[in-house]
């Protein structure tokens, strides 16, 4: 766990996989646009380390920063309801 960051220990593997997939998509889109992390950080108004954390799929990153980075490169995120097991 990153020092000083609150990350739920209850996060499921599906959620972790989704966060990692979003981070990978953000990185691929940034690279396809020919931009470095520093340029992306400047455009988003965050520290370059935040871009690295998003792209690494760290679950403690702000969802606003994640969605903002994706939007910079024309990607959108949608929500879909998942039925919980045992209902």
State the average pLDDT over residues 31-43: 98
Tokens 């593997």 label which residue?
A: 13
> Has residue 84 got a pLDDT over 60?
yes
For residue range 41-78, list pLDDT tens digits in order: 999 999 999 999 999 999 999 999 999 999 999 999 88
pLDDT at 6: 59
pLDDT at 11: 84
pLDDT at 10: 75
Q: Give 11-17 contacts, CB < 8 A, sequence gap 24+.
A: 11/59, 14/82, 15/59, 16/57, 16/59
Contact between 26 and 54 (Cβ < 8 Å): yes
Q: What is the pTM of this model?
A: 0.81
């Amino acid at each position: 766990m990153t020092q000083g960051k609150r990350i739920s220990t209850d996060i499921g593997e599906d959620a972790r996989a989704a966060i990692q997939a979003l981070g990978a998509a953000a990185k691929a889109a940034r690279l396809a646009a020919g931009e470095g992390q520093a340029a992306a950080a400047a455009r988003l108004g965050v520290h370059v380390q935040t871009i690295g954390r998003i792209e690494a799929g760290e679950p403690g990153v702000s969802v606003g920063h994640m969605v903002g980075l994706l939007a910079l490169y024309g990607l959108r995120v949608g929500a879909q309801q998942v039925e919980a097991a045992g209902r």
